[in-house]
Homo-oligomer: A and B are copies of this chain.
């Protein structure tokens, strides 16, 4: 099977896992349940649950324990997009060619559906305790909540929102990228590792790999905004320039950005390969994320 075929197969498998943890659309509160399902099933690469599952497999993890955490992670990612799209935030009517949640269900329901998803993420993660109450499940819950919160994703989101239209220092940009983008990728890979029984030392290595992957992914995003075309990217190019947005490219220039993506991603792969476990698909997946053209 080619990497692309394998990727498709695994993505389809993750879609099925997500559906297992989504609510039935029934009862007086039906509208929010529909909005929750609409938001999660609106598409996406399912990258975070995939990184979690592949890291779990890499460390020899077997069984179902990772599944509720995969679903929980995608719910957190989804709620962050739903709230990000709200009128008071980015005010986006479309995402991936589909109407955003508040555009379909109204603003109040957009807020509530996001809240419902964030809460459901922790409710879903707690289901792991039905299978096993142990240091590894407890640790996974701690990592999930920490990396999604004020010292993780939300922290980055806040600084990003506050910095809009203002020039950014390299230090602040790094902070935003590390928290807004890397934090959930770190949590994904760390939870996979921890559930498979990785040691603290291995966990630290995984965190640094994931941090680099997130950073390289984000810089590549900045590069594509400058170098791609509308047709290839499927979304407007030069949008950062139009919005006067400080990016890695505006700060460091295109050449250095390209060089740094290469360096950061090589560092990630070297650290990953230094572990005594191996997962060829995971390596290819990381490679793809960083060298992608859209």
Closest chain-B Cβ to A131's Cβ sits at a distance in Å of 11
Question: Which listed segment binds B: A6-14, A137-145, A223-231, A267-275?
Answer: A137-145
Please indicate the chain B residues that have their CB under 8 angstroms from the CB of A236 in the complex: none
Whether A134 is near chain B, meaning CB under 8 Å from some CB there, is yes
The A interface, classified by DSSP as helix, strand, loop or mixed, is helix
Whether A149 is near chain B, meaning CB under 8 Å from some CB there, is yes
Q: With A111-B86, A129-B142, A138-B133 in contact, do A155 and B27 touch (Cβ < 8 Å)?
A: yes
Q: Is the CB of B114 within 8 A of A115?
A: yes
Whether A159 is near chain B, meaning CB under 8 Å from some CB there, is yes
Whether A32 is near chain B, meaning CB under 8 Å from some CB there, is yes
Q: Is the CB of B115 within 8 A of A142?
A: no
Question: Which listed segment binds B: A119-127, A212-220, A283-291?
Answer: A119-127
Whether A43 is near chain B, meaning CB under 8 Å from some CB there, is no
List A residues at the B interface (Cβ < 8 Å): 23, 27-29, 31-33, 36, 79, 83, 86-89, 107-112, 114-116, 118-120, 122-123, 126-127, 129, 133-135, 137-139, 141-142, 145-146, 148-150, 154-159, 161-162, 172, 175, 179
